[in-house]
Structure 1
Amino acid sequence: MKVTDRPYLTAGLPGIGGEIKCEIDDFEVEEVPLYEPGGDGQHAYVWLEKRGVPGGKLVSMLAAHFGVKKRDIGTAGIKDKHAVTRQWVSLPFHELEQDEPSDLVGPVVDGVEVLEARLHRNKLRTGHLEGNRFQVVVRNFDVPADEALERAQAVLEVLGAKGMPNYFGLQRFGNGGSTLELGVGYLKGDADAKRRLKRNHFLRRLSVSAVQSELFNRVLAARIDRELLWTLFDGDVVKKTDTGGVFVVPTDEFEETQARLDRGELVTTGPLPGPRMIAPERDGKVFEDEVLSSAEVDDRDFARHKKLAPGARRPLLVDVGEPSVRIETRDGQEVLVVGFFLPSGTYATVLLREITKHADLVEA
């Protein structure tokens, strides 16, 4: 199974071309926490900045530096390597040599510095964040700076009003789709895939998740192609934007539910297949079955691996917060600086590709 194309939501608006992540300082990410540290407790929450450090290696580096176990360190999410990122990390304060949280402030290892430290009662857990605030520099665009600014503003205006396609980024699928192919093989019982993943639980989960992500992207792409993001099917699965509740559109409340979608109270969803996923019914089921009919996996494959892929629904659109764009001069070159906030679990490069219209935009 191959990674499919992802049509643009703003296909009618021209892009600017360009490149991102040319320099470390060109990509800034600041975590927006779900809650602030309370000021007392057994865990030290450190607000740290890292520059060019792989997110996956951060915990190991901190564990070695502070002399604690990796499992006792908490993070809300993994941040980009080729970027300047700021995030909260929790450390078991009672196991540290420092007397006060403020003693933790300062350089830790090369590329990592603690900017602030406070106590809190619980360890930080994955997903304990509201989202991320981005500031991204786009260089070497294909049009004059003034025109690039106008084009970017037009795209952001649409995304700010309608939402951003909630595609999974290309990095989800591995180099050349290798993680996706491995996941398909594992789900289908391929001996080589099972052997490669037998002792690597992280890669096993990642590979199966890549398959779910590709199927979701296919449904989203089809709804964009057919202009059905804001048009319901009878039996569609929708999500409440205020509470997060998910339900199947009932036939006898179809017009009322469509009106709620129009008012922004609901959002259409796509599949992350698994036995616990709320499945569409009637016309909604017919649509998704047709879109996914060419996939090499089906519900039975996911049912055999319910612990790895329990299943869920994912919104097809997400709100873009705080959109902004301006021209700056850096290193003697006019660049575009794009700012925005996205909720957790979404991909900044999906928004940026709408602006650049580069299908092969670097998504590392």
Structure 2
Amino acid sequence: MKLYSHIKKAPEYFIVEELPRLEIASDGKYDVFLLQKRNTSTLEAVRIISKLLKIPLKTIGFAGLKDKYAVTTQYITLPSGTISEEEIQFVNNGRWQIGKERKNSFFKIKFLGRTNRPLSLGEIEGNKFTIKVRNFEKSMREKFYRNFQTIKLYGFPNYFGEQRFGSVKSRDDFVLRYLLKGNFEEALKVYFLGKEKINVITSWQNIYKILKPTLEEYEKDLLKGLIRGLPAEKAFRILPKNIRIMFNFAFQSYLFNRFLGEYIKQKYPHIQIPFINNWKLYFYTEVEDFEKLKGLKIPYIGYEFPPEDPLLRKIIRKIFKEEKIDPATFNTEIAGIKVMTDGERKAIVIPKNFKIISKTKKEVTLEFILPLGAYATILLRNLLAV
């Protein structure tokens, strides 16, 4: 993807520091540790801590998921006294182990103090980013500085970034589409194969045989159940609940991006930028009604939060019709999860302390703070127009 030719050459090009909503004291029911990691996802680090230190996974509290291909700093909590060491380093030398030699993938935890409650998802003020943009060619500079000033003045559209669409394996392919139709068999084939291959590999035996080396244990159990004749709906429930919920999040995030993109496209001068799966994102270049836009919230479906803006109402109806979404599915339960639930998200994000901290002929280093839920990769797409 073109964006990544300009960032993430090495994890050190993408530095993320969590800004916690956390009071650290000298005593309390929970120990607070600083988790510093490189080339490792938050979930992977937490699982390794649980496994190697023999700590129940559910007792490890954390507030946010940080990028894998980055150098990141965040906070975790554990019940007081769970770990006696002040600092522990984990390295990947073919397999994860506790050690001191720094490898390509590693992380460490360092004791900071105590608090009276565990961290839970969402309990952060935001994240501070330091990002080096490379391959900063002369042809990019005029566009870059123009977009930089636009973002300084008007912020940028609050689209969901590509990280939100981990369950999408091919273009316009969402497991939830099939669940909404009650077609669990097709939903599972899309989950394992992606839309483009579901008519090529047809039997569960073949799917299991081909994918076995890459499958998680619960996926193996699921496919073995299907091979034995377990109904697809029951087999689907073998997937962990957090994964089933992500199918809903991914589809609703896609709808939100469509609502916001169409609103910008119809209302403001804009540029069009390619996104994953041949989707398009639209970024405004001028805004005449900034105060209104700054306060605008886009609903996920508009069921509990109907928008006041007539243009937005019209756009949501139009997209629901195009996507063949039946309002009868709103806020219903399918396979043990609530689907098509409503909520609101701000239409734009205004980065704090957005500045260039160094530059050469070929590289520019940026620094900025984003609130919880905003994506640095979306800001960068807007800035670089790629």
Q: Decide: shared fold, TM above 0.5.
A: yes
Does residue 36 (structure 1) correspond to residue 36 (structure 2)? The answer is no
Does residue 210 (structure 1) correspond to residue 192 (structure 2)? The answer is no
Deviation digits for residues 237-265 of structure 1, max 9, x if unmatched?
Answer: xxxxxxxxxxxxxxxxxxxxxx9x75479
**Cα distance, 1:157 vs. partner?**
2.2
**Cα distance, 1:117 vs. partner?**
1.6
CA 1:39–1:154 in structure 2 vs 1: closer, same or farther (change >3 Å)? Answer: farther
Does residue 121 (structure 1) correspond to residue 148 (structure 2)? The answer is no
Does residue 184 (structure 1) correspond to residue 177 (structure 2)? The answer is yes
User: Which of 51, 58, 70 is 2:45 aligned to?
Assistant: 58
**Cα distance, 1:57 vs. partner?**
1.0
Whether the aligned pair in 2 keeps the contact of 1:179 and 1:210 (CA below 8 Å) is no
**Cα distance, 1:143 vs. partner?**
2.2
**Cα distance, 1:274 vs. partner?**
7.5
Give 1:104's aligned amino acid. E
Deviation digits for residues 305-326 of structure 1, max 9, x if unmatched?
Answer: 3734431011111111111124
CA 1:172–1:266 in structure 2 vs 1: closer, same or farther (change >3 Å)? Answer: closer
Instruction: Give % identity.
Output: 27
Following the alignment from structure 1 to structure 2, what is the Cα–Cα distance between the partners of residues 218 and 64?
41
Q: 1:198 aligns to what? A: 237
Whether the aligned pair in 2 keeps the contact of 1:222 and 1:291 (CA below 8 Å) is no
Give 2:353's aligned amino acid. E
Query: Which structure 2 residues correspond to residues 124-135 of structure 1 after superposition, within 5 A?
Result: 124-135=119-130
Query: Which structure 2 residues correspond to residues 1-364 of structure 1 after superposition, within 5 A?
Result: 18-96=5-83, 98=84, 103-110=85-92, 111-143=106-138, 148=141, 151-174=143-166, 175-177=168-170, 180-192=173-185, 193=187, 195=232, 197-200=236-239, 201-227=241-267, 262-263=290-291, 267-273=295-301, 277-280=304-307, 283=310, 284-305=312-333, 307-328=338-359, 334-358=362-386
Secondary structure of residue in 1 paired with 2:321: coil
Give 1:113's aligned amino acid. K
Deviation digits for residues 124-155 of structure 1, max 9, x if unmatched?
Answer: 000000111111112123426xx63x643432
**Cα distance, 1:93 vs. partner?**
1.9
Secondary structure of residue in 2 paired with 1:292: helix
Secondary structure of residue in 1 paired with 2:317: helix
Equivalent residue pairs, number? 302
Deviation digits for residues 200-245 of structure 1, max 9, x if unmatched?
Answer: 122211111111111111110011111269xxxxxxxxxxxxxxxx
Aligned-residue Cα RMSD (Å) equals: 2.9
Following the alignment from structure 1 to structure 2, what is the Cα–Cα distance between the partners of residues 35 and 187?
40
Give 2:369's aligned amino acid. F
My pick for the range that moved more, 29-38 or 179-188, is 179-188
Whether the aligned pair in 2 keeps the contact of 1:18 and 1:141 (CA below 8 Å) is no
Whether the aligned pair in 2 keeps the contact of 1:180 and 1:208 (CA below 8 Å) is no
Q: 1:250 aligns to what? A: none
Give 2:150's aligned amino acid. V
Q: Which fold has the larger relative contact order, with Cα–Cα distance below 8 Å and residues 6 or more apart in sequence?
A: 1
TM-score by length of 1: 0.74
CA 1:338–1:152 in structure 2 vs 1: closer, same or farther (change >3 Å)? Answer: farther
Specify every segment of 5 or more residues in structure 1 that has no aligned partner in the other structure, as ranges. 1-14, 230-258, 359-364
**Cα distance, 1:28 vs. partner?**
0.5
Give 1:181's aligned amino acid. F
Secondary structure of residue in 2 paired with 1:95: coil
Whether the aligned pair in 2 keeps the contact of 1:164 and 1:317 (CA below 8 Å) is yes
Following the alignment from structure 2 to structure 1, what is the Cα–Cα distance between the partners of residues 292 and 110?
39
**Cα distance, 1:169 vs. partner?**
1.2
CA 1:28–1:46 in structure 2 vs 1: closer, same or farther (change >3 Å)? Answer: same
**Cα distance, 1:68 vs. partner?**
1.2
**Cα distance, 1:53 vs. partner?**
1.0
Following the alignment from structure 1 to structure 2, what is the Cα–Cα distance between the partners of residues 317 and 107?
39
Secondary structure of residue in 1 paired with 2:15: strand
CA 1:186–1:117 in structure 2 vs 1: closer, same or farther (change >3 Å)? Answer: same
Whether the aligned pair in 2 keeps the contact of 1:48 and 1:116 (CA below 8 Å) is no
CA 1:17–1:173 in structure 2 vs 1: closer, same or farther (change >3 Å)? Answer: closer
**Cα distance, 1:33 vs. partner?**
0.8
**Cα distance, 1:41 vs. partner?**
0.8
Specify every segment of 5 or more residues in structure 2 that has no aligned partner in the other structure, as ranges. 93-105, 189-231, 270-287
CA 1:262–1:153 in structure 2 vs 1: closer, same or farther (change >3 Å)? Answer: closer
Secondary structure of residue in 2 paired with 1:113: strand
Secondary structure of residue in 2 paired with 1:122: coil
Secondary structure of residue in 2 paired with 1:294: helix
CA 1:272–1:355 in structure 2 vs 1: closer, same or farther (change >3 Å)? Answer: same
CA 1:266–1:22 in structure 2 vs 1: closer, same or farther (change >3 Å)? Answer: closer
